[in-house]
Amino acid sequence: MILRALRLTVRVSAVVQSPVLHSCRALHSSAALWAGHNKWSKVKDIKIPKDAARARMIVKYTMMIRIAVREGGPNPEFNVALAQLLEQCRNKNLPKATVEGAIKGAKSKPGVQYVYEATGPGGCTLLIEILTDNNTRSHQEIKRILMKHGGALCEGARRNFDRKGVVAASRDGISSERALELAIEAGAEDVLEIEDEEERPILQFICDIASMKSVRSALESLGVHTLSSGLEFVSKKKKKKNCPR
């Protein structure tokens, strides 16, 4: 084995005209690179999906900030919707530069908000909220994405949703039974158990828009750690817990 290794090293050195010692180091370096490659192959299946989910979250909040600025101005002291969004961004550790860029972009290049009604895979109903400066282009892109996944634009989807106030809260070991009790005590209409964009379990307390502020205050007085509050379209149909995602 030693002789064969020496003969191989000599032949390689003769071709590249490099010292024998240098060739040995190159072979050792190659082994280290393979080890790094194997390590990346083990973590990429975890890292890439998480990075993609965070990127989608940043795009989502950027759009909502621009809508809030367009409707109520860039000062969070006078714009409740913007103040609530900025609070959510802090809780989710969104980059400060991204948030400031969204506010600045909304002032310099305001877009127009549209809501598209559609059906998706399996006949599910979708409401798609967008902010765009070119609705013709956005309309075609939405149609393309829907067709690719077996969906289509339609009319009447909005009647399956209600505009509601939603107070998000940390789960913090709260059981389903206790969550329901808290909803009743705080004056909420319902409570949902979901995961946020980063797969953290949270509770969503659904309430009437006019009572959203009082519901949040009541939850905090009951010891619940609230994360944010805002307006959302909430489906009128209950989601079954055993339904595939």
The pLDDT value given to residue 40: 58
CA distance 69 to 72: 5
Of the pLDDT bands very low, low, confident and very high (cuts 50, 70, 90), residue 228 is confident
Percent of the chain with pLDDT over 70: 77
Mean pLDDT along residues 131-146? 89
189 within 8 A of 211, measured Cβ to Cβ: no
**Of the candidate ranges 5-19, 28-42, 130-144, 229-243, the one whose mean pLDDT is the lowest:** 5-19
CATH class of the domain comprising 51-110? mainly alpha
d(C-alpha 110, C-alpha 193), whole Å: 35
Q: Encode pLDDT of 157-195 as tens digits.
A: 899 999 999 999 998 889 999 999 999 999 999 999 988
pLDDT band at 21 (very low <50, low <70, confident <90, very high): very low
What is the assigned CATH class of domain 111-155? alpha beta
The whole-number average pLDDT for the span 107-116 is 80
> What number of residues does the chain have?
245
Query: In the chain, what are the domain boundaries?
Result: 51-110, 111-155, 160-235
pLDDT of 105 higher than 80: yes
Tell me the three state secondary structure of residue 192: strand
pLDDT at 15: 38
Nearest to 212 by CA among 163, 167, 168: 167
The residue that leads in pLDDT, 240 or 204, is 204
At 42, the pLDDT band (50, 70, 90 cuts) reads low
In this prediction, residue 237 carries a pLDDT of 77
What is the pTM for the complete model shown? 0.62
**Record: fold of 160-235:** Alpha-Beta Plaits (3.30.70)
The answer on pLDDT for 56 being more than 90 is: no
Who's near 67: CB < 8 A, 6+ residues apart? 106, 113, 131
Do 111-155 and 160-235 fold alike per CATH?
yes
DSSP per position, 122-164 = GG-EEEEEEEES-HHHHHHHHHHHHHHTT-EE-SSGGGGEEEE
